Amino acid sequence: MSISFWADMLSYIFLVYTLMLMLIYVVSALASYRVIRNHVAETSFVDFRQILTSPLSPKISIIAPAYNEALNIVDNAKSLLALEYPNFEVVIVNDGSKDETLQRLIDAYKLEKTSFLVQQQVECKEIIGVYKARDEAVSHLTVVDKRNGGKSDALNAGINVCAGQLFACIDVDCILERDALLRMIKPFLEETDQKVIATGGVIRLANDCIISDGRLIEINVPRNLIARAQVLEYMRAFLLSRVAWANINGLLLISGALGLFDKQTVVEAGGYSHKTVGEDMELVMRMRRMMEERKQPYAVRYIPDPLCWTEGPTRWDILGRQRNRWTRGLMDCLKFHKKVFFNPDYRVMGMISYPFWFLYEWLAPIIESLGLIFSIILWILDIINGSSFWLLLATVYSYAVCLSCMAIWVDQKTYLQYRSKRDLGRLLLIALIEPFFYHPFTVYSSIMGNIDYLRGKKGWGSMTRQGLSKPATPTPSS
Amino acid sequence: MMRISHTDWIADLENTWLDSLGPFQLLLLTLVVISTLTAFFLVAHVMMLMLVRNRRKRWADALQARIEDGIAIWLAGDYSIRELTSTFQEEIKKEPRARKTILNVIFATSKLFRQEGQATLRQLLTGLNLHQLCYKLLKNRHWYQQAYATQIIGQLQLEQALPLLKLKLKTKKSTLRLELITAMIALGDQSWLQEIDYTSTHLSDWEQIVLLERFRRLNADQLPPFEIWLTSAHTDWVLFGVRLCRHFNRFDQVPELGNLLQHPNIRVQMAVLDALDYLSPPEAIPFLVRFMHEATGDLLRTTLRVLGNQGDPELVKLIAPYATHADSTVQFSALSALKEVGLTEIELRQLSSDPRYIDHLFDPKLQ
């Protein structure tokens, strides 16, 4: 058989793969829009204050691991303590910080070490002390001091100390909407036929937004192009994809930045794993596997409301490290749970979600890179069908822009987060240029993640942040 | 001319581009065109939305201000209801869309009034024929329009809509169902209670929270006879009945609640324990003691806590054996209960094998 025959065959494979991916995205985008529209209509009838006064509200523990966060820890704790919910506690876990994180908290809230008896329900490193405040006003604050063991270990320590039926794991430097807990609790309360084991919420980027006293005052599209491209990327991921996955109960990932979990199920599943940097996804997959194996009806839900604002990387090196870590985490999860791959015993998880993550989340950057290499080889051998190549590129580009426009459109039709013409213009501009500079970089980082994984690299790598706690712009009168 | 050039273009495409991937080239070209046109359409729609939204907002704000002014003048006594009605009718004549805005404002204003004020607003609503708009919305195919109309009907007590509300009660949309039940309670109709067995075998915690909040606003004589739910065949309704007994201090239901500790559903059992803990009647102790000997895990821990909260020194000898239970969490609950019953730190240290439990229990910072 000739080279051109094999070249044609490979071309067909790349083409079919691309078309399948495009089809999946379009179906999921349309399904997501339908779900979000319904959710927004339903939410307009909901008075979340009813939960505030209800004796039926279950207790929620917020677990926030902190490592070397001395700069902002007091402000962040203040923001968490001010959340709206009738029955909650905040558990900040100092994961062996080398700076003054613990001391700042002790000073700010006049904390005292207690004789708190820790029930070791899930594995974690030694807890040195549990601190509570003297002041009644912050009696719902608990600070745990422990030996350094990483984020998953800190979360496990928090699970061992917390008292809520449900716990929310959050990144301590995130800004939560005041009513985030009220909104996230609803799916747990709504189900009667199945147990809701976890709920996720939409994460948005807060770069260049105005924040004061731990509250988001004004939403802006970031000036930095890397951050701006991430805004669009998050909108596509959260508004056009995850909602649809949750709708078919196929969600495998609840972001580590914000998730609400049923504590009993998490404890029975063994808590967060220390063996991976993708501990958030791994936990959800393990919980789902456990429920499937027990044949217990369950659901993983998702709230499309923007509830959590976080800072995105603004430098290529930090972004690269983040994406590298995400890829390694994904590979761990796929490896640990390979048993479910096209296994009908695991229903949606085994037949749809896992194969999608394998074929289209993990393999996509690899296939994309191989496609590019393949095209270069064909070019060198002078057997490329030039028009097909350019048409394929044009298809992928126009489709990417179309998908970004759809994300912007869904946002405008539902949550209307970016209201000004300037913000809209910025988003549209980035939708046009992002496929040329941002997307190739994320593919490159993902490939490097694969290589690092095969080399056995572990760990998070340093994630420098600029910090979100900017004061509000003072008005002339002040 | 156009047709010929289009054909030429395709022919040209086939001649110059088509080889073994020919059909796919056409497919790709189609995708490029579709994606590009869709993107253009979406962007244009977003821009149009932005313009229309701003214009509509300005119009709606101005109209709303005029309506609110009109109602304020009427409340001050400077307008009769007839004058107010004719003012609003003029607005509707100028722009029919104003009907929805007027309805919204009347609905929002009605929430500020009690019965007497609402009667006048109802008169205004019917005078403007807006009650017909409510009925029309109730027949709308979108559930959220129906729910909105139901809210208004309940709030302004439009009794003529009752048969329509009853028809809708079979809906599977829980938000609408809650609004229907609330509206029917407001209209003094409790026939929905009979409908439950046929339509609402499930009642989620969320629905229970919403209904409880709405029941709390009612007078005692307006409450539904929720004690009958304690014997319902549907677990969710038993659970709700137990929770309502707790909330409305139904001490007379303590024996029934005690018997419900034998219910097969753990959520009902936990709710009963919570109710008995809250009501704390001495009659509950025999039920709790009997249940303590049968319960395990969470139920046992909660039962020990509830018994401890009873504060009866007679219970010491019954609880004390659990202080050396094989499960450390049960041990801790038993020691905690014994502390509540009145045992001193020294007595508890004698009972417990692990001093950390006692340190925790008597740490003033953890109280």
pLDDT in tens, A11-27: 888 888 988 999 999 99
Nearest C-alpha neighbor of A13 from the set A432, A418, A404, A374: A374
Residue of A nearest to B278 (CA): A55
Of A54, A114, A119, the CB nearest to B365: A114
pLDDT at B360 over 80: yes
Of A157-161, B15-19, B52-56, B356-360, least confident by mean pLDDT is B15-19
- CA atoms within 13 Å, Cβ hemisphere of A469: 15
Within 53-82 of A, beta carbons closer than 8 Å to B belong to: 53-57
pLDDT in tens, B254-293: 999 999 999 999 999 999 999 999 998 889 999 999 999 9
Question: A51 and B209: CB-CB below 8 Å?
Answer: yes
Question: B175 and A398: CB-CB below 8 Å?
Answer: no
Indicate the pLDDT class of residue A465, thresholds 50, 70 and 90.
low
CA distance A341 to chain B (A): 31
pLDDT in tens, A39-59: 998 888 888 887 888 888 899
Question: B16 and A399: CB-CB below 8 Å?
Answer: no
pLDDT in tens, B46-83: 999 988 988 888 988 998 899 888 888 887 888 887 88
**Greater model confidence, A283 or B137:** A283
Mean pLDDT value of segment A51-72: 90
The pLDDT, as a whole number, for residue B88 is: 85
Joined tokens for residue B64 = 């709303």
Indicate the pLDDT class of residue B7, thresholds 50, 70 and 90.
low
Task: Please tell me what DSSP assigns to residue A236.
Answer: H
Question: B32 and A398: CB-CB below 8 Å?
Answer: yes
Parallel/antiparallel/unpaired status of strands A175-176 and A298-310: antiparallel
Question: A412 and B19: CB-CB below 8 Å?
Answer: no
Indicate the pLDDT class of residue B113, thresholds 50, 70 and 90.
confident
Question: A8 and B204: CB-CB below 8 Å?
Answer: no
CA distance A279 to chain B (A): 28
Indicate the pLDDT class of residue A474, thresholds 50, 70 and 90.
very low
pLDDT at B199 over 60: no
Question: A11 and B17: CB-CB below 8 Å?
Answer: no
With beta carbons under 8 A apart, name residues in chain A contacting B151: 45
Residue of A nearest to B329 (CA): A119
Indicate the pLDDT class of residue B197, thresholds 50, 70 and 90.
low
Q: At what angle do helices B297-310 and B284-294 cross, to 10 degrees?
A: 150
The mean of the pLDDT values for chain A is 90
The pLDDT, as a whole number, for residue B4 is: 44
The pLDDT, as a whole number, for residue B1 is: 38
The pLDDT, as a whole number, for residue B160 is: 86
Indicate the pLDDT class of residue A30, thresholds 50, 70 and 90.
very high
Indicate the pLDDT class of residue A409, thresholds 50, 70 and 90.
very high
User: Would you give the distance in Å from CA B237 to the centre of its chain?
Assistant: 15
Parallel/antiparallel/unpaired status of strands A88-95 and A60-66: parallel
Question: A42 and B144: CB-CB below 8 Å?
Answer: yes
Question: B212 and A54: CB-CB below 8 Å?
Answer: yes
Cα distance between residue A460 and residue A327, in whole Å: 12
Question: B365 and A405: CB-CB below 8 Å?
Answer: no
- Say if residues B252 and B284 touch (Cβ distance below 8 Å): no
With beta carbons under 8 A apart, name residues in chain A contacting B39: 398, 401-402, 405
**N-term to C-term CA, chain A:** 80
Joined tokens for residue A425 = 């213009």
Of A116, A191, A395, the CB nearest to B366: A116
The pLDDT, as a whole number, for residue A95 is: 94
- CA atoms within 13 Å, Cβ hemisphere of B1: 0
Tokens 């041990």 sit at which residue?
B331
Q: Which range, A360-369, B198-207, B214-223, is most confident?
A: A360-369
Instruction: Sketch the domain layout of chain A as residue ranges.
Output: 57-321
Residue of B nearest to A39 (CA): B144
Q: What is A57-321's CATH topology?
A: Spore Coat Polysaccharide Biosynthesis Protein SpsA; Chain A (3.90.550)
- The backbone torsions φ and ψ at residue A435, rounded to the nearest 5 degrees and listed phi first, read -65, -15
The pLDDT, as a whole number, for residue B98 is: 85
The pLDDT, as a whole number, for residue A127 is: 94
pLDDT in tens, A187-234: 999 887 899 999 999 999 999 999 887 788 899 999 999 999 999 999
- Tell me the percentage of chain B whose pLDDT exceeds 70: 90
Nearest C-alpha neighbor of A189 from the set A304, A56, A62: A56
pLDDT in tens, A340-399: 999 999 999 999 999 999 999 999 999 999 989 988 888 888 877 778 888 889 999 999
Cα distance between residue A305 and residue A113, in whole Å: 38
- The backbone torsions φ and ψ at residue A397, rounded to the nearest 5 degrees and listed phi first, read -65, -50
Of A233-242, B238-247, B357-366, least confident by mean pLDDT is B357-366
Residue of A nearest to B367 (CA): A139
- Contacts (Cβ under 8 Å, ≥6 apart) of B255: B283
Residue of B nearest to A397 (CA): B32
pLDDT at A475 over 50: no
Residue spans of alpha helices (H) in B115-157 = 115-127, 130-138, 143-156
pLDDT at B117 over 80: no
pLDDT at A4 over 80: no
Cα distance between residue A114 and residue A130, in whole Å: 6
The pLDDT, as a whole number, for residue A446 is: 97
Task: Please tell me what DSSP assigns to residue A448.
Answer: H
With beta carbons under 8 A apart, name residues in chain B contacting A194: none
Strand partners, A203: A308
- Say if residues A176 and A258 touch (Cβ distance below 8 Å): yes
pLDDT in tens, A414-462: 988 888 889 999 999 999 999 999 999 999 999 999 999 999 887 766 6
Question: A54 and B363: CB-CB below 8 Å?
Answer: no
Q: Which amino acid is at A4?
A: S
User: Would you give the distance in Å from CA A407 to the centre of its chain?
Assistant: 17
Q: In this predicted complex, what is the ipTM?
A: 0.86
pLDDT at A272 over 80: yes
Q: Which one of A57, A140, A391, A408 makes the best mutation probe of the B interface by having the most chain B beta carbons within 10 Å?
A: A391
- Tell me the percentage of chain A whose pLDDT exceeds 70: 96
Mean pLDDT value of segment B102-120: 79
Of B31, B43, B332, the CB nearest to A395: B31
pLDDT in tens, A311-340: 899 999 999 999 999 999 999 999 999 999
Helix (H) or strand (E) holding A290: helix A279-294
User: Would you give the distance in Å from CA A363 to the centre of its chain?
Assistant: 20
Residue of B nearest to A136 (CA): B365
Question: B39 and A401: CB-CB below 8 Å?
Answer: yes
Mean pLDDT value of segment B193-221: 78
The pLDDT, as a whole number, for residue A398 is: 96
**Greater model confidence, B118 or A195:** A195
CA distance B60 to chain A (A): 18
Of A19, A189, A424, the CB nearest to B205: A189
The pLDDT, as a whole number, for residue B38 is: 96
pLDDT at A264 over 90: yes
Mean pLDDT value of segment A90-108: 94
The pLDDT, as a whole number, for residue B115 is: 65
With beta carbons under 8 A apart, name residues in chain B contacting A116: 360, 363, 366
- The backbone torsions φ and ψ at residue A258, rounded to the nearest 5 degrees and listed phi first, read -160, 120
